[in-house]
Amino acid sequence: NFLTEGSISWQSPSNIALVKYWGKYGEQLPKNASISFTLSNCHTKTTLSYKKIKPSEGFHFEVYLDGKREKDFEPKIQKFFERIEKYVPFLKEYEFKIETSNSFPHSSGIASSASGMSALALCLTQLERSLSGAEGTETEEKASFLARLGSGSACRSIEGPLIVWGEHPDIYGSSNLFGTKYPFEVHDTFKNYQDTILLVDKGEKQVSSTVGHNLMHDHPFAKQRFQQANNNLSKLIPVLREGDISEFIKIVESEALSLHAMMMTSMPYFILMKPNTLEIINRIWNFRKETGSNVCFTLDAGANVHVLYPEAEKENVSTFIETDLKPFCKNGEYIHDHTGDGAAAL
């Protein structure tokens, strides 16, 4: 089959891990299983325009962010294309224009790699399907597989609301190669779970997640950490089924702090939390103690705090955030989000 030119658009969300992925091997394969909530409001929209080229013309692409050429993104996309080429052999027969925009402010410290890479992977998977003329029942799997090669955690952004990535003995169908839907019963407590992202520090990270993952290779606690993550995922299964929110909080907060403990005990060591990250964590703990709320926090590889709470507490926690936590956000900025069902074609 032969398509000369056209365009494909997808919208794909960010995700927030409950059990963290930190440490990889081989071709972007995780050293432990992880699980995340797929988000909804924080997403990337990507349009992939393709045009068939003559072999003599050579592979070429351009990246645009909010309508402006973004050359800074191109090396990362170039590397992505190199990694996926053998899985999408048609790639080099086209030239591409990649137009992308995020629903969240650029350089907000919210990683756009998960939403951006998954959106691009979905565009490419759709192009592949159009070329082959196949109906493609396994599109999600292939898209997740490709997204993983762009950014590991991106493979958890294709579907929702709870996605597992990494082989785990208790989770049927789980794979190191792509994300899969969490296959077990989930209590209503955890349906439409809320995540308010507090923007604590919008600056460039001092240490990229690529460097961080690599520091797990010779890390003194690596083995225990990978074991701990897999155990935490096992523990989460009955917790999610029974709606045991106090156990949920223990696992999720411990995971966030363990992730950052790995950073602090790497060689070289580094700290991504900021003073306001700790201030916010302490305020969340106090609020929980004083009011009996079930609000908790998690962190990804940065200073921002994800405030997690059940839908039933939306009003109370929103007020708490607005009055008590907002002063510790950069320019008072935060973003309300909640779990979602994954990517959508546009």
CB of 195 to ligand PMV, least distance (A): 13
Q: How many whole angstroms separate alpha carbon 261 and alpha carbon 122? A: 34
Tell me the closest approach of the beta carbon of residue 83 to ligand PMV, in angstroms: 13
CB of 210 to ligand PMV, least distance (A): 7
Q: Is 300 in the site for ligand PMV (CB under 6 A)?
A: yes
Can you tell me which of 125, 151, 276, 298 binds ligand PMV, judged by CB under 6 A? 151
Peptide bond into 75 cis (omega under 30): no
User: Which CB, 22 or 226, lies closer to ligand PMV?
Assistant: 22
Angstrom distance (rounded) from CA 166 to CA 151: 14
Q: Which two tokens stand for residue 327?
A: 């002063």
Nearer to ligand PMV, 301 or 325 (CB): 301
Q: For ligand PMV, what does the binding mask look like between residues 253 and 292, x meaning CB under 6 A?
A: ------x---------------------------------
> Within 13 A of 188's CA, how many CA atoms are on the CB side?
1
Q: For residue 17, state whether it binds ligand PMV (rule: CB under 6 A).
A: yes
Distance CA 275, CA 200 (A): 9
Q: What is the dihedral of CA 53, 56, 57, 58, to 10 degrees?
A: 90
Site string for ligand PMV, 62-101 (x = CB under 6 A): ----------------------------------------
Which amino acid is it at 197?
I
Q: Which stretch binds ligand PMV (CB under 6 A): 19-27, 75-83, 250-258, 286-294?
A: 19-27
Q: Please name the amino acid found at residue 56.
A: S
Residue with tokens 């048609």: 90
Smallest gap from Cβ 153 to ligand PMV, in A, equals: 3
Candidates 17-25, 184-192, 307-315, 319-327 — which segment interacts with ligand PMV by CB under 6 A?
17-25
Among 8, 14, 20, 306, binds ligand PMV (CB under 6 A): 20
CA distance 150 to 17: 17
Q: Is 328 in the site for ligand PMV (CB under 6 A)?
A: no
- Per CB under 6 A, 112 contacts ligand PMV: no
Q: Is 180 in the site for ligand PMV (CB under 6 A)?
A: no
Provide the strand spans (E) within 94-252.
94-102, 162-165, 179-181, 194-198
Number of residues that bind ligand PMV (CB under 6 A): 14
Question: Do 98 and 115 touch, CB atoms closer than 8 A?
Answer: no
Tokens standing for residue 175: 């794979």
Q: What angle do CA 264, 23, 198 make, to 5 degrees?
A: 60
Instruction: Find the shortest distance in angstroms from Cβ 94 to ligand PMV.
Output: 26
* Token digits of residue 8: 């494909």
For residues 85-116, one letter each, b for 16 or more C-beta atoms within 10 angstroms of the residue's C-beta and e for the rest, the string is eeebebbebbbbbbbbbbbbeeebbbbbbbbb
- Is 196 a residue that touches ligand PMV (CB under 6 A)? no
Q: How far is the CB of 302 from ligand PMV (least distance, A)?
A: 8
Q: Count of H helices and E strands in the chain?
A: 8, 14
Using CB under 6 A as the binding rule, whether residue 21 contacts ligand PMV is answered as yes
Interacting residues with ligand PMV (CB under 6 A): 17, 20-22, 34, 113, 151-153, 209, 213, 259, 300-301
